[in-house]
Structure 1
Amino acid sequence: MAATALPRTFTVTDDTPVDPVKEDQTITFEAISDKTFGDPAFDLEAAASSGLPVSYTVTGSATISGSSVTITGAGSVTITASQAGDDSFNAAANVTQGFIVNKATATITLSDLEQEADGTPKMPTAVTDPAGLEVVFTFNGEAIIPVAAGSYTVVATISDTNYQGIAEAVFELTEAVETGVDDELRQVLVYPNPFTKAIKIEGKNLSAIRLHNLNGQLMLESAATDKIELTIPDLMPGVYLLYLVDEEGRSTVKRMVKK
């Protein structure tokens, strides 16, 4: 007699581990206000919606330790906040904030604002606070250091990567006191004044004539005789300084006006 088949029921299970479903998270990172070089260190306060700690990276004129930012110079700074996630949260999208570190203001004190013109370039003395900063000068808007007697508007500007500052004053170069100049040199005739195209000069024992503008630039130089006419029609209108030099090297200066 044949055996009777009996029905059997069984369940097949899969023991493969199933990864839990991770939640998304976001980072809140508020804008950072601009700073000034010399400002104290400050803390960042970015937060992840997961409650997990946020980390930072920085590029530019600052360093970061943990969440504390230290400014190292003037310029731009970019800070990126990130959160890599864990078993329960996906990595958050990075959030970046940038700000500007402005130059700090320094002061300039100008002195020696009245000096005697002696044929060499002259400039005032500048002291900065903080000390030791580079200062760039202009005289009547030009970078040429003056030589000739005259009144100059001097502007001193700090040239530094982290500091800025400016000072303005009047710089006076007075005509040198004439020592040992005899009556012949004092009595040289120079005419007309103002002049248009030419200057006539009459005197004794003259050896050289030099014409400077008020920035000290030499416009004309000529050997001299007892009677000479300088023709200079292309000279721009303005005030000029005429140096008369005798055979012994002594000199006197006359202020001339070109119409």
Structure 2
Amino acid sequence: MTNTNTCKNRREQIAAFVLGQLGPAAAQQLQEHLRHCEACQSFHSSFLSQEESLQSAFKGLCEELAAKDAALLESLDEQSEKVHDTVPSNTEADLKTSIWRVWLPRIWRWAVAAVLLIAAGYVAGRASAPTSPDIQQLSNSVTPMVAESVLADVERRLTSRAERDYTRLKREIYAQTNNDIGSALAENLALYEATLDKRLTNLVQLIEATRARDRRRITKALEHIEANRLKDRARFHDGLVTVAAHVNKPIQQKSN
């Protein structure tokens, strides 16, 4: 019972040792214990295997998310270049320059100049005004960028959640493993105690049956000895009577 409780209390130390959270002195003491305890060796191997499996799964998930992040960044750069190319190069200064270039040489004719100025300004404005952006093209360019940004944010949140879930999963697996091993040990101990009690009961019954059989045999032997003693006594008495009869017979003859 003491050894079982001691090994059960060492499970937290074994888990801390596998996770690298145990001090040097305690780790050395635990390693010394593991060399001589098969139960703790089995628990250490099982917990270490589970830890390696979780680390491998988490590493694969991180690599996959990193690859997706790289692809998203590359796509984002391409979309940024497309949006930059669609920006118009003409400005309002070009429009003013064209207007003044048209009407200043004709200032001497005010009436005609006004008409020509209006017409020239209208024509020049139509010719040099920046082209209106293509709303559909901008929408097509911006929508993937927004979608990629949202997806990247979602993946960052999923990564953070995966890290939290990984830690929680390790704790749950450790607790479940601890409970399973504790339940198995308790069941095995209860079965062992029941078997031991049954064997002790059978042994006591066997001893009592043997004692009763021996007592009966001793009683029969004593009765047989007593019967033989009584028979021998009766025979000895009969022999004495016979001897006395033979001795008294010559004496009686002499008396006559």
Same fold by TM-score greater than 0.5: no
Higher helix share: 2
Q: Given the two structures, how large is their TM-score scaled by the length of structure 2?
A: 0.19
- Between 1 and 2, higher relative CO (CA 8 Å, sep ≥ 6) is seen in 2
Query: TM-score, structure 1 length as denominator?
Result: 0.19
